[in-house]
Structure 1
Amino acid sequence: MDEPVSGARRGTLRTSDVARESGYSVQQVRDLERLGVIPPAARSGNGYRSYASLHVQALRAYRGLAGAVGPVVARQLLAELRAQSIAEAASVINEVHVRLAREREEALRAQQALRAIQAEGNTAESEQDGDAMTITELSRALGVRPSTLRFWEQEGLVTPERVTSLRARRYGLSAVRAARIVTALRSAGYGVPAVREIMGSLHRLDGQGDARHVLRERLDQIAVRTVELLRAGADLATVVLTAQERATVSSRPGDG
């Protein structure tokens, strides 16, 4: 049961108080307590729930964490954080930040590749349909060595056709387009592993409509998730520090 207004004691919070302060409904507070997101409320002799400010902070921490990584993962992380040392908890939270940064970097790289596609597409329009280039012709057009194109082929970045009896390399329009993208990205300072990831990202976006729109939405979502994680920061710190203090007290000789 939830403590009635007339029975509220100084320093304690009713379920409705916690709901109002955390932004959740009364039923959600009960559900999240049942799921272990917040510690169990204290119970008075007549069975009424009694909460503390820590419960509000735990719910706020959960809200931000759920916005960053999703509710299921957030519940798992909160359980871990309450059981870990400060150093371990800090490492877990930092990994979430790193994960979001990686997602953002991948989206930005794919966005850069899309710009490269648009730029090389304007150039490709001047070519005759069905034109193919030899490795020498393509290397001159791109300003790179033939050995560089062979290396890119080995790395799976550009795949030429072999159509002559001598199995000589011939680069059709799709291969030329890919080579232009790789050249643009390499010139911008991207390493081969990063270029491979970018090309993979572009392939994964095929068939999903406007890729530029998809990437803009992805970047916006990552930004929102990052802000949610930052918003949860102080409350997460309180949850971790409180759990650590309680663990320290309970481990002292004579306690318990």
Structure 2
Amino acid sequence: MTGPVSGSRRAPLRTVDVARASGYSLQQVRDLERLGVIPPAARSGNGHRCYTPVHVHALRAYRGLAAAVGPVEARRMLAELRTETITTAAAAINAVHVRLARERDEALRAQRAVRAIRAEADVPGAGRESDAMTITELAGALGVRPSTLRFWEQEGLVTPERVTSLRARRYGPPAIGAARIVVALRGAGYGIPAVREIMDSLHRFGGPEEAQRILRRRLDRIAARAVALLRAGADLAAVITSVQEPASSPPGPDRPAG
């Protein structure tokens, strides 16, 4: 674990001080400075980097923010947070919390949908051929357009079980169940390639049970991202509020480089 950020804003920190306090290596500190995660360090008379505690806070904040939204977006956000007002910057961080909460809600809805599909399959008499639907009926039941079902068919996600000589599609119970799982997964934020991989797994390994396992793993990942963002909270606050503070005075006497 890293310790608290010590020293006043007027006392410059060496690269080694920042590395120890942030948990990054010396080279990582330099690389993250080059990438804009932290602002450029001031230079002493002999060319050594002179950091401030805000640099440490920014590096710590980056670790949690990158875990929550990915490194590219985290770099962009930190660069913007350093130039925004407190109100705008706080709103940007709150938006990340809202996004994670929405992803969790979508995954939970998908989980409930898959659970309902599984329960219906256990009902006696379910899955009769008389329950087959046309493309228009299925699209209406799912709340999607017929063109969406045709696109899913092209992508190999949902296949009608019979196509008449007039090109009319009929979807039997297995195809209807598959379509409902695709709707649930798309609603949970999965892209077409990921849905295709999941549907292939369902066919190989046991239907809705595999979808439930996949969704549980997604919920675990969302929880881990949310916790990482919470851990970064105090450091993000320090970065945001530093914008409102007066600029630091020039570095003091030269110090040995870390």
TM-score by length of 1: 0.67
- Pairing of 1:95-244 with structure 2 (within 5 A): 95-123=95-123, 126-127=124-125, 131-133=129-131, 152-153=140-141, 155-156=143-144, 172-174=172-174, 177=177, 198=184, 200-201=186-187, 204=195, 205-209=198-202, 210-244=210-244
Distance 2:222 2:70 in 1: 12
Using the TM superposition, give the Cα deviation of residue 11 of structure 1 relative to its aligned residue in structure 2, in angstroms.
2.7
Pairwise CA distance, 1:211 = 1.7
Gaps of 5+ in 2: 1-9, 150-159, 165-169, 203-209, 248-258
The one-character-per-residue Cα deviations of 1:7-39 (angstroms, maximum 9, x if unpaired) are xxx933221111111011110001111111112
Q: Distance in 2 between matches of 1:196 and 1:129?
A: 18
Q: Which amino acid in 2 is paired with 1:45? A: G
Per-residue deviation, 1:41: 1.6
The equivalent residue for 1:70 is 70
1:82/1:244 contact within 8 Å kept: no
Q: From the superposition, tell whether residues 199 and 11 of structure 1 become closer, same or farther in structure 2 (CA, over 3 Å).
A: closer
Structure 1 residues not aligned, in runs of 5+: 1-9, 136-148, 165-169, 182-194, 248-256
Residue 90 (structure 2) aligns with: 90
Following the alignment from structure 1 to structure 2, what is the Cα–Cα distance between the partners of residues 134 and 207? Answer: 22
Instruction: Give me the whole-angstrom Cα distance separating, in 1, the residues matched to 2:81 and 2:184.
Output: 34
Q: Which amino acid aligns with 2:125?
A: E
How far, CA to CA, are the matches of 2:142 and 2:222 in structure 1? Answer: 34
How far, CA to CA, are the matches of 1:70 and 1:174 in structure 2? 37
Q: Distance in 1 between matches of 2:67 and 2:30?
A: 20
Aligned-residue offset at 1:60:
0.5
In structure 2, relative to structure 1, the CA distance for the partners of 1:80 and 1:67 (3 Å cut) is: same
The sequence identity of aligned pairs, in percent, is 58
Structure 1 counterpart of 2:18? 18
**Separation in structure 1 between the aligned mates of residue 227 and residue 185 of structure 2, nearest angstrom:** 29
Aligned length: 205
- Alpha-carbon distance, 1:81 to partner: 0.9
- Alpha-carbon contact 1:33-1:40 (below 8 Å) kept: yes
Question: How far 1:244 moved relative to its partner?
Answer: 2.7
Q: Greater helix share, 1 or 2?
A: 1
Other structure's SS at 2:122 match: helix
Distance 2:228 2:21 in 1: 17
Whole-Å separation in 2 of the counterparts to 1:73 and 1:82: 14
* Partner residue in 2 for 1:57: 57
Structure 1 residues 121 and 13: CA distance shift in structure 2, 3 A: same
| Paired residue secondary structure (1:45) | coil
**RMSD over aligned Cα, in angstroms?**
3.5
Distance 1:171 1:30, change over 3 A: closer
Measured in 1, the distance between the counterparts of 2:178 and 2:145 equals 7
Change (3 A) 1:243 1:208: farther
- 1:39 maps to amino acid: P
Decide whether aligned partners of structure 1 residues 173 and 53 sit closer, same or farther in structure 2, where only a CA change above 3 A counts. Answer: same
8 Å CA contact 2:37, 2:62 repeated in 1: yes
Of the two structures, which has the highest relative contact order with CA contacts closer than 8 Å and spacing of 6 or more? 2
CA displacement at 1:198 relative to structure 2 = 2.5
Alignment of 1:237-256 (within 5 A): 237-246=237-246
Residue 79 (structure 1) aligned with residue 50 (structure 2)? no
Measured after TM superposition, the shift of residue 245 of structure 1 is 2.7
8 Å CA contact retained: 2:142, 2:183: no
Q: 1:150 to 1:51 in 2, by over 3 A?
A: closer
